[in-house]
Structure 1
Amino acid sequence: MTGPHGVGIGWRPEIAGFVAELPGLRFVEVIAEAVPVAGPPPDALVELRERGVTVVPHGVRLSLGGVEPVEPARVAHLAAVAELLAAPLVSEHIAFVRAGGLEAGHLLPLPRSREAVDVVCANVARAQSELPVPIALEPIAALFDWPDDELDEAAFLSEILERTDALLLLDIANVHANARNRGTDPLALLDRLPLERVAYLHVAGGAEQGGFYHDTHTDPVPPPVLDLLAALCARQRPPAVLLERDGHYPPAAELRAELDAVAAASGFPVVT
């Protein structure tokens, strides 16, 4: 499988012009649910593909952690987007977003229980049976843990990855956020995860508020996250790393500097 390589950025319509002008860009990630499959993909994505830029669809609505089976129509849409964009893989979250017909509108954390492992594995298997490419699973940032957790995060994630044979999309900003909010050591988690399964990394900004670190995607990437990225890459450098930004977009010069900082921390060539 040929997956993403180098430094990428999350493609959003608001910064499409900026992304198009990055000379060294190797890949982008697009929200799968935002891509229509009834017609051709957006011209900006077509132009990137023609430049040889890899496009990875990133799902946010499958609800792989929901007790209800994943909806076939949502899986079919993700599969269609992957084929439309000639994607080498897709990605989704280890989370739930709906229950009993109600939509949360947010990625919600799972109890780290044996039952939850079974639910995630069953839903991932259902998705894998319909997807034309491999899937990478992303653990989310959470402000709380459920009181009936039976497994710690490393054991929970490792068992899911082993049983599903899925790839790992590791968000290093989420690792920082969870460690900061739980009072744990992020390096201890990295040392227990199967880093050889990482397809690519996410890096994003956040902010302290109310005694918690919030993974906002609208603030600059703070130095501790870049330091953690460098520590992970020193252990085992992944094939690719992607900067996520979802609002409050800074001037182009600041966004270029942030991409350059990500490249420097991970040891990849700059894209700007």
Structure 2
Amino acid sequence: MAAEPRALGVGIGWRPEIDLTVERLPGVDFVEVIAENVRPDRLPESLRVLRGRGTPVIPHGVGLGVGGAEPPDPGRLAHLAACARALEAPLVSEHLAFVRAGGMEAGHLLPVPRTRAALSVVAENVRRAQDALPVPLALENVAALFGWPEDEMTEAQFLGELVEMTGVGLLIDVANLYTNQVNLGLSATEALDRLPLSALAYVHVAGGHSRDGLWHDTHTAYVPDDVLGILSELCARVDPPGVLLEWDDDYPSDDALDAELGRIRGAMARV
């Protein structure tokens, strides 16, 4: 069984470019930091300020690669564990993705083949990660530009069986569900109906851009109304422990970010 999720509230991704903004934004209940961008023994002053206020900080990894055939790298796991301890984090999150093979980096978060064989490998990788971490692990669904032809399960089925086998938590990115709906024709609401939302740890929300008929989840724009609609659909099914806004470049003003957090709260309250 997945661990009982902690109530987090509404948060924003901490980035060094907006560190002071995040500190002064009203109503930021928690933040998330890219684990590969911080040193546990030399945390940025802004993160220390936030922790001093009691604001939870979640390390979010992008390079562990639990979806690969190789076991997770012990050094990467040790870094995630050290980040969790230094930040007194309630959990660690990562992506259910394939990122490397044979020492070669893909440079992208690629979807995992949803087969029985892959599920067995991923489950073992997740167990290794859980054993190495001092706090619970949550895995994020990824945005995909393609699906593997040998897929035997939907993403929701794959995640459901993975949760049952390992007790891992889920970080549901509703912007990624929207991306898969636009690019692959996969219904976001159908996914929500089938995902094991009882294992939900928190939620990601983000904006992007349409180009040549494809939706690109860039985290550099305002959240589309359609993505907020999917968030409302999720909230109609479960009370999410936390919802976090991701914004990674082309940062707007403090007031604009505050307004985006307000739009997220509004979407959550529409249920």
TM-score range (shorter-chain normalised) is over 0.9
Give percent identity, aligned residues only. 57
**Residue equivalent to 2:31:** 28
For residues 4 and 50 of structure 1, the distance between their equivalents in structure 2, rounded to whole angstroms, comes to 19
Q: Distance in 2 between matches of 1:179 and 1:250?
A: 27
Amino acid of the residue matched to residue 266 of structure 2? A
User: Offset at 1:3?
Assistant: 2.8
The equivalent residue for 1:95 is 97
TM-score (norm 2): 0.95
1:227 is matched with 229
TM-score by length of 1: 0.95
Matches within 5 A, 1:60-71: 60-71=62-73
Q: C-alpha displacement at 1:23, in angstroms?
A: 2.7
Map of 1:11 onto structure 2: 14
Unaligned runs of 5+ in 2: none
Tell me the CA shift for residue 220 of structure 1.
1.2
* 3-state SS, counterpart of residue 217 of structure 1: coil
Structure 1 segments unaligned to the other structure (5+ residues): none
Summarize deviations over 1:213-255 as a string: whole Å, max 9, x none: 1111112110000111111101112111000011111122221
Match of 1:242, SS state, is: strand
Query: Quick one: distance in 1 between partners of 2:35 and 2:29?
Result: 19
Pick from 94, 116, 121 the counterpart of residue 119 of structure 1. Answer: 121
Classify 1:200/1:2 alpha carbon distance in 2 versus 1 (closer, same or farther; 3 Å): closer
> Aligned with 2:152: secondary structure?
coil
- The one-letter amino acid of 2:76's match is R
Which consecutive segments of 4 or more residues in structure 1 shift more than 4 A? none
- Given that 1:97 and 1:107 are in contact with CA atoms closer than 8 Å, whether structure 2 keeps it comes out as yes
> Contact 1:4–1:54 at 8 Å: present in 2 too?
no
Partner SS state of residue 132, structure 2 = coil
Q: In terms of mean alpha carbon deviation, does 162-171 or 111-120 score higher?
A: 111-120
CA RMSD of aligned residues (A): 1.3
Report the counterpart of residue 259 of structure 1 in structure 2.
Answer: 261
Partner of 2:205: 203
Provide the C-alpha distance between the structure 2 equivalents of 1:52 and 1:75, rounded to a whole number of angstroms.
Answer: 25
What is the letter of the counterpart of residue 45 of structure 1?
Answer: L
Superposition pairs for residues 33-182 of structure 1, below 5 Å?
Answer: 33-37=36-40, 39-182=41-184
Would you say how many aligned residue pairs link Structure 1 and Structure 2?
267
